[in-house]
Amino acid sequence: MIEIKNITKKFPSVTALDNISLKINDKEFFGLLGPNGAGKSTLMNLLIGYLDADEGEITIDNEKVKRDNLLVRTKIGLVPQSIALYDDLSAFENLEIFGSFYGIKKRLLRAVIAENLNRVQLYDRRKDKVKNFSGGMKRRLNIAASLLHDPKLLLCDEPTVGVDPQSRNAIFDYLIQLNEEGKTIVYTTHYMEEAERLCSRIAIIDFGKIIAEGTLEKLLEKLPYEQTIIINKNHSTADKIELFKSFGNLLNEQEKYELKPFDHLKLSDFFRSMEENDISYQSIDLHKPTLEALFLHLTGRRLRD
Amino acid sequence: MKAVISLIKKDYKLFFHDKPAVSLTFLVPAVLIFLFGSIFGGSSSAPTGIHIAFVNNSESKVAHKLESVLDTTKAFMLIKEFTNDEGKTVKFDTNSIKDYVRKGNVSAALVIPQDAFTDTSTGLRLKFYYDPKNEIEMQTIQGLMLQTIMSQMPNIFMASMQHRAETFLGKNKGMRFNRKIASVVSEYYGVDTSKILNWTKFSFSDSLVSDSASNKNNFFKDLLDLQKTQLVGQNVNNPNATRSVGGWAMMFLLFTITASSTSLFDENKSGVVVRILSSPISRVQILWGKYLYNISLGCIQLLVLFMTGYIFFGIDIFSNFINLILIIIAAAAASTSFGMLLAAFSKTSAQANGLGTFLILTMSAIGGAWFPTFILPHFIQILSKGTIVYWSMEGFLQVLWRNANTVEILPYVGVLLGITAVVNFISILQFKKGNVF
């Protein structure tokens, strides 16, 4: 189990983490959701012992994580945000190098590398230089490099940045499979869709503070409404902005309005009003609210602002 | 036009934000122009203060006159004493002065022997011992030495002429001839006869009274008999290549090591360093890994370059191979520490490489890789002794040129390792501040 107790980390110009506490259970797929600069990567760097906290303590299975505690790192596999590979070396050579840091014997290491390359569908390309790989292939190899020592805990720091949807899905499937096999996964992202799809529990972080934490359902219960109203833009909705605003907080997007209804709004009242204003039902959809809506509700800002 | 001006402004803005580019455009050429200007023109056209060992065993006035001239000339600084094995400062004799040159303390020694100018002399006899470890330096020293000595030749020439006249005519006839000539000159030019006679006798006349039967057919040769003896490097296969290989090898070694050390920035930028640090490896281990890798790479590079010298130019690297290896290791360690220092103090790879290029070219220039340091201004000669290039080159010359033994190269190894220790200490302090990772 990972225990993060009252962690504070300050840099000269900013407090990156401000008295954060979290508990992550074994075999959990834990999401850390927040906008860029929220403190996610700093927390990752503290979890691998790359940085030391100014205050507080992190333990993994009751063992303190610190810069000078190298042993605890054998339990951790890091998938960095950047593609941390040597471009001019082959996939196999890269894995050989990173595996050697864990003292795995050569013969065993070769077998482990082959297995991991197979799992990310790169075995056939093992002799190719990484610089000739596509973005998705590099991302998959980036993950394989962090699994050679069979870590109990996998830390994924935005591992799908810049990846096409197909490769992203492949990565998701692989991570879900790893979690099902028993690995604890901590996954940072600023894509709420990723957190919603992958994570059994999510912490939302903003300006170095945890502003909400729980399962997706529990988090969404914090919203004062159960459904988001989507109004598709057409000639009948053209000059009805003030009307929509009278029912909730309105987001004016390119092709639609997104309405977060006020507390205790009766949907029957809303639809009656729409009918009276000649706005057809076909223009209106009801959606289950997302973490994006929760973030907006909690911070007044959109996740990707 | 406005668009073009905007584009020009943009390029200038980018250029001045790129410190390595600014440095390579202005600072590096300016420093090199200064150095080359100092050597091949500029404020002083001739080198000064060249150290030469000197001993005068002659009691003749000619010898004392020459010593005083050499003492006062700016070109040379005469070293007349040395510290012996017992730590006492003693004056040179003919044997100790040769040892002094052989050990590489100076490149040349001038000995005025006891019989430099005797009663039987028709000219001046000098002994010149030298170590041509640097050909340009040796040619310059010999040129300046001859120039200085020859400036005194009219006096010697006049005395020698008088002596010759007396030899051919007999002493009494010669004296009469001189007096006759003096009276004629006195009559026509109104100069006192005694003055003319004193002038022709000059100050050496006391040594010109005896007869000399030798060298009558080689007058000019006899006037200055400079006996040159090479003390070091007589058996070196290819002197020019042997002299220069160390300097060039060091310059390229520094470039290689700098590039390798600054690769830390690229690894950090790509996230590889974070990945490595997420494994059971510490920052200190990363630095050690990088450091030992660079030293081994440096050793291999130097060995390959010396092997190239052996294959193509016949440079003898095997007769003193163990000591060559010692200097190679010390030079590689010092060069690596330089590379790590650059990495520690720079903020980006580009900055480190820009600064590295500037420092390497400067160190190579003032350290003696391109031209001998003796022709540089005095203060730069002092600076040169603070460079890795200087001590490495001197170490290589000790081994390849002087065939020095292990004890003799220890000072060079010691200085290089001392530089390594100091520079590493500074680098570690800087790395702890966390500029790189």
Chain-centre distance for alpha carbon A115: 26
**Cα angle: B239, vertex B243, B246; to 5 degrees:** 140
In a domain, residue A294? The reply is: no
Which residues in chain B touch residue A71, judged by CB atoms under 8 angstroms apart? 280
Q: State how far residue B392 is from chain A, nearest Cα, in angstroms.
A: 34
Q: Please, where are the H alpha helices in A62-164?
A: 91-100, 106-119, 135-144
Q: Collapsing DSSP states into helix, strand and coil, what is residue A119?
A: helix
Q: Which of A48, A71, A83 sits opposite B278 (nearest CB)?
A: A48
pLDDT band at B39 (very low <50, low <70, confident <90, very high): low
Domain match, A271 and A164 both: no
pLDDT band at B33 (very low <50, low <70, confident <90, very high): confident
Q: Work out the percent of chain B whose per-residue pLDDT is above 90.
A: 30
Domain match, A61 and A184 both: yes
Average pLDDT, chain B: 82
Q: What contacts B105, CB < 8 A, 6 or more positions away? A: B53, B82
Contact across the interface for A70 and B275, Cβ inside 8 Å:
no
Interface test with A, best of B264, B267, B275 (most A CBs within 10 A): B275
pLDDT at B208 over 70: no
Contact across the interface for A84 and B280, Cβ inside 8 Å:
no
Which residues in chain A touch residue B281, judged by CB atoms under 8 angstroms apart? 70, 101
pLDDT at B358 over 80: yes
Domain match, A118 and A52 both: yes
pLDDT number for residue A291: 86
Contact across the interface for A82 and B277, Cβ inside 8 Å:
no
Count of alpha carbons within 13 angstroms of residue A103, beta-carbon side:
6
pLDDT at B339 over 80: yes
Residue A198: in which H helix or E strand, if any? helix A192-198
- Dig out the tokens for A203 from the structure: 């912490």
Count of alpha carbons within 13 angstroms of residue A125, beta-carbon side:
18
Task: State the average pLDDT over residues B353-362.
Answer: 87
Contact across the interface for B274 and A149, Cβ inside 8 Å:
no
Partners of residue A29 on adjacent β-strands: A185
Q: State how far residue A139 is from chain B, nearest Cα, in angstroms.
A: 13
pLDDT band at A157 (very low <50, low <70, confident <90, very high): very high
Interface test with A, best of B277, B278, B435 (most A CBs within 10 A): B278
Domain of A104: which CATH number? Answer: 3.40.50.300
Q: Collapsing DSSP states into helix, strand and coil, what is residue B105?
A: coil
**Cα angle: B196, vertex B201, B207; to 5 degrees:** 170
Taking only the tens place, the pLDDT of each residue in B211-231 is 334 444 455 556 778 888 999
Q: A200 at the B interface (CB within 8 A)?
A: no
Contact across the interface for A74 and B274, Cβ inside 8 Å:
no
Chain-centre distance for alpha carbon B190: 54
Domain match, A203 and A95 both: yes
Q: Which of A78, A82, A103 sits opposite B278 (nearest CB)?
A: A78
Domain match, A104 and A249 both: no
Q: State how far residue B281 is from chain A, nearest Cα, in angstroms.
A: 7
Give the start-end residues of each E strand in A133-194: 153-157, 184-189
- Dig out the tokens for B223 from the structure: 């006037």
Domain match, A241 and A212 both: no
What residue type is A117 in one-letter code? Answer: L
pLDDT number for residue A133: 96
Domain match, A252 and A152 both: no
Domain match, A131 and A238 both: no
In a domain, residue A283? The reply is: yes
Domain match, A170 and A247 both: no
Taking CA atoms, B337 is separated from B298, B357, B420, B422, in Å, by: 11, 16, 6, 9
pTM for this predicted structure: 0.76
In a domain, residue A23? The reply is: yes
Which residues in chain B touch residue A103, judged by CB atoms under 8 angstroms apart? 280
In a domain, residue A185? The reply is: yes
- Dig out the tokens for A31 from the structure: 């999401």
Q: A76 at the B interface (CB within 8 A)?
A: yes
Q: State how far residue A142 is from chain B, nearest Cα, in angstroms.
A: 10
pLDDT at A87 over 80: yes
Contact across the interface for A50 and B271, Cβ inside 8 Å:
no
Q: A145 at the B interface (CB within 8 A)?
A: yes
Contact across the interface for B280 and A70, Cβ inside 8 Å:
yes
- Dig out the tokens for A133 from the structure: 């790989």
Burial of B1 (0-12, 13-18, 19+ CB in 10 A): exposed
Domain match, A182 and A239 both: no
Q: In chain A, how many domains are there? A: 2
Which residues in chain B touch residue A146, judged by CB atoms under 8 angstroms apart? 275, 278
In a domain, residue A160? The reply is: yes
Domain extent, residue A156, equals 2-220
Q: What contacts A187, CB < 8 A, 6 or more positions away? A: A29, A30, A31, A32, A156, A159, A175, A194, A195, A198, A199
Contact across the interface for A101 and B271, Cβ inside 8 Å:
no
Cα–Cα distance measured from residue B407 to residue B334, given in angstroms and rounded to the nearest whole number: 20
From A134-138, A278-282, B39-43, B280-284, the region with the lowest mean pLDDT = B39-43
pLDDT number for residue B221: 59
Q: Work out the percent of chain A whose per-residue pLDDT is above 70.
A: 99
Phi, psi of A110 (to 5 degrees): -60, -40
Taking only the tens place, the pLDDT of each residue in B398-434 is 999 888 999 999 999 999 999 999 999 998 888 877 6
SS (H, E, C) B2-44: HHHHHHHHHHHHHHHHCHHHHHHHHHHHHHHHHHHHHHHCCCC
Q: Report the largest interatomic distance among the alpha carbons of chain B, rounded to a whole angstrom.
A: 106
The residue from A220, A242, A264 where one domain ends is A220
Contact across the interface for A50 and B278, Cβ inside 8 Å:
yes
Task: State the average pLDDT over residues A285-294.
Answer: 85
Contact across the interface for A83 and B278, Cβ inside 8 Å:
no
Q: A85 at the B interface (CB within 8 A)?
A: yes
Contact across the interface for B271 and A81, Cβ inside 8 Å:
yes
Cα–Cα distance measured from residue A173 to residue A155, given in angstroms and rounded to the nearest whole number: 16
Cα–Cα distance measured from residue B38 to residue A206, given in angstroms and rounded to the nearest whole number: 62
Contacts of B241-245 spanning 24+ positions with Cβ under 8 A: B241/B309, B241/B313, B241/B314, B241/B315, B242/B309, B242/B313, B242/B315, B242/B316, B242/B400, B242/B401, B243/B133, B243/B134, B243/B135, B243/B397, B243/B401, B245/B305, B245/B306, B245/B309, B245/B313, B245/B315, B245/B396, B245/B400
Chains A and B form CB pairs within 8 A to the count of: 59
- Dig out the tokens for A5 from the structure: 């107790």
Domain match, A12 and A55 both: yes
Q: Which residue of B has its CA nearest to A85?
A: B272
In eight-state DSSP terms, residue A200 is S
Closest CA to B261 of B305, B297, B285: B297
Q: Which residue of B has its CA nearest to A156?
A: B275
Contact across the interface for B277 and A48, Cβ inside 8 Å:
yes
Q: Which of B270, B272, B278 sits opposite A76 (nearest CB)?
A: B278
Task: State the average pLDDT over residues B311-332.
Answer: 94
Q: What contacts A69, CB < 8 A, 6 or more positions away? A: A49, A63
In a domain, residue A142? The reply is: yes
pLDDT at B20 over 80: no
Interface test with A, best of B270, B274, B283, B293 (most A CBs within 10 A): B274
Taking only the tens place, the pLDDT of each residue in B105-141 is 888 999 999 888 766 666 778 899 998 887 788 888 8
Contact across the interface for A85 and B276, Cβ inside 8 Å:
no
Cα–Cα distance measured from residue B221 to residue B121, given in angstroms and rounded to the nearest whole number: 12
Q: Which residue of B has its CA nearest to A94?
A: B272
Q: Which residue of B has its CA nearest to A146?
A: B275
Query: What is the interface pTM, i.e. ipTM, of the complex?
Result: 0.86
Sheet holding A76-79: strands in order across? Answer: A76-79, A153-157, A184-189, A29-33, A201-206, A209-214
Chain-centre distance for alpha carbon B352: 30
Cα–Cα distance measured from residue B123 to residue B208, given in angstroms and rounded to the nearest whole number: 10
Cα–Cα distance measured from residue A43 to residue A15, given in angstroms and rounded to the nearest whole number: 12
Q: A35 at the B interface (CB within 8 A)?
A: no
- Chain A, residues 148-177, CB within 8 A of chain B, namely 149, 155
Domain match, A187 and A251 both: no
Q: Which of B274, B280, B282 sits opposite A80 (nearest CB)?
A: B274
Q: Which residue of A has its CA nearest to B272?
A: A84
Q: A179 versus A274: which is more confidently predicted?
A: A179
Partners of residue B79 on adjacent β-strands: B53
Q: Which of A76, A82, A101 sits opposite B276 (nearest CB)?
A: A101
**Cα angle: B230, vertex B233, B239; to 5 degrees:** 115
Q: Which of B277, B279, B283 sits opposite A102 (nearest CB)?
A: B279
Contact across the interface for B272 and A149, Cβ inside 8 Å:
no
- Dig out the tokens for A216 from the structure: 């997706």
Q: A98 at the B interface (CB within 8 A)?
A: yes
The residue from A220, A237, A255 where one domain ends is A220
Task: State the average pLDDT over residues B301-305.
Answer: 93
In eight-state DSSP terms, residue A129 is B
Cα torsion B411, B413, B418, B423: sign: positive
Residue B129: in which H helix or E strand, if any? strand B124-130
Which residues in chain A touch residue B276, judged by CB atoms under 8 angstroms apart? 98, 101
Q: A138 at the B interface (CB within 8 A)?
A: no
Cα torsion B26, B28, B30, B31: sign: positive
- Which residues of B touch chain A, with CB atoms under 8 Å apart? 269-272, 274-283
Task: State the average pLDDT over residues A5-29.
Answer: 95
In a domain, residue A110? The reply is: yes
CA dihedral A213, A216, A219, A224 (to 10 degrees): 170
Q: Which residue of A has its CA nearest to B284?
A: A68
What residue type is A184 in one-letter code? Answer: T
Helix B349-367 and helix B239-261: axis angle, to 10°? 160
Which residues in chain B touch residue A78, judged by CB atoms under 8 angstroms apart? 274-275, 278
Q: B369 versus A44: which is more confidently predicted?
A: A44
| CA-based radius of gyration for chain A | 23
Phi, psi of B338 (to 5 degrees): -65, -45
